[in-house]
Amino acid sequence: MNSQVETAGESRGRWIAFAAAFVAVLGLADAVYLTVHHYTATPVPCSIFEGCETVLTSLYAEFAGIPTAAFGALAYFVAFSLAILAAYENRTAWKLFGVQVVIMAAVTCWLIYLQAFVIGAFCQFCLLSAITTFLLLLLFAISKVKRAQF
Amino acid sequence: MKEEKKSGGVPVAIIVGVLVLVVLGGVLLYRSSATPSPNTAKPANASPQPQATISTQNAPPGATPPNAVGPTTASVIIEEFADFQCGSCGASYPVLRDIIKAYSGNPNFRFVYRNFPLQMHDKAYDAAVAAEAAGLQNPAKFWLMEEQLFTNQATWSINQNYRDIFVEYAQKIGLDVDKFKADMSGMQAKTRVDQDMSRGKALAISSTPTVIVNNKIIPYAEVTLAGMKRIIDAEMQKSTATQQAPPQQAAPASSGVNSNAGNK
């Protein structure tokens, strides 16, 4: 096969991977913001109108002394790196990306459950992170359905 | 089988570039948003933040008698609206407890606790009822239950068997457990919580903790040991100056909270 000729499947795969990298950067920015907030934020009163502080000051805001958001930032950075490598035609990277986003989606489901049924409050920044994770999962699913090549 | 193509250092350069940007962005964000802890670092002589004044004249009195420390004739009356499941209320608890200790016995100081459980906190209302149920046995037991609820907030607020935990606290502080359970289910404790909430709603309380000193809402950042002492001392000095001034110059420093002092 002539490596200079890009097939339709390869082109599709490349753009899906770039889109995934872009979404991962959004998630990364959100997670970095939440991590910094964890260390610097001045406590604010609990508001009638929204529960972000309730979530961010809950027992689940940390795991083993490390902010939960920091794990998210690491996960998004790895997802971004794998997506970029896949965009430059590393097929193994896309497979690893798929495994990772499935794990991230599972963890996200658990975090949504905690907000809804344990903490009893939602944080918009955490929900934004959930959206970006599910978008990554969606992009990976699209790549499989459309038989995108890497 | 398709071979993986070599694309040089472009992807690695992009990844490293984004990593550098993220680290730099994080450091800048940290530096721009890092502020001293509000409960420790604010100096006693720091400029106070503006305090919103509220009118309490038309508000219902709340639970009567309230959970209060100090005489109703005090010149400085602090009224706190709090939620036992609110993390910020838990963070403020040691500050306000120390304030009560510091001014305990001062005839010009009175502290009133008001229940204001927020709807988003699923166990907060029951926690408020538990505190009131303790207070029904002995007013002093309310404060002991308050201490249990705030200091163990992280434990019961995530436990679905939290009612059993409240019973454990009741045992620990020496309550009649059977009566405590009955009062938890009865109307008297609930009515007191509802009365406090009605007062809070009438005062347009929108967050917890809301601390009011002589009709002035104290910004949360000011709810520090040093900040509260400064505010209380200033109010006491104002009251003393008013009492010493000739009658024609005397002006009431506040009306609502003080005028309702008899209800507190």
Residue A123 C-beta-side C-alpha neighbours within 13 Å = 23
pTM: 0.62
What percent of chain A stands above pLDDT 90?
51
Domain coverage including residue A32: 2-149
Say if CB B231 and CB B222 are below 8 A apart.
Answer: yes
Q: Measured between alpha carbons, how far is A21 from A26 in angstroms, rounded to an integer?
A: 9
SS (HEC) of B29-70: HHHHHCCCCCCCCCCCCCCCCCCEECCCCCCCCCCCCCEEEC
At residue B188, does pLDDT exceed 90? yes
| B37 contacts in chain A (CB < 8 Å) | 42
Cross-chain residue pair B89–A84, CB shorter than 8 Å? no
What are the pLDDT digits (tens) for A37-63? Answer: 888 766 666 776 666 776 777 778 888
What percent of chain B stands above pLDDT 70?
81
Instruction: Closest CB to B91: pick one of A1, A43, A118.
Output: A43
Kindly report the CATH number assigned to the domain that includes residue A52. Answer: 1.20.1440.130
Q: Measured between alpha carbons, how far is A9 from B17 in angstroms, rounded to an integer?
A: 28
| B29 contacts in chain A (CB < 8 Å) | 32-33, 36
Instruction: Closest CB to A88: pick one of B10, B158, B207.
Output: B10
Residues 113-172 of B with CB under 8 A from A: 118-123, 154, 158
What is the band of B62 on the pLDDT scale with cuts at 50, 70, 90?
very high
pLDDT (average), residues A145-149: 71
- B36 vs B187 pLDDT, higher one: B187
Cross-chain residue pair B121–A92, CB shorter than 8 Å? no
At residue A129, does pLDDT exceed 80? yes
End-to-end Cα separation, chain A, in angstroms: 14
- B38 vs A63 pLDDT, higher one: A63
Q: Is B17 on the interface with A (CB under 8 A)?
A: no
ipTM: 0.79
At residue A104, does pLDDT exceed 90? yes
- B134 vs B12 pLDDT, higher one: B134
pLDDT of B120: 74
pLDDT of B41: 40
- B84 vs B239 pLDDT, higher one: B84
Instruction: Return the bridge partners of B68, or none.
Output: B112
pLDDT (average), residues A60-86: 93
At residue B260, does pLDDT exceed 50? no
In A, minimum Cα distance to B15 occurs at A81
pLDDT of A50: 63
**How many domains, in total, are found in chain A?**
1
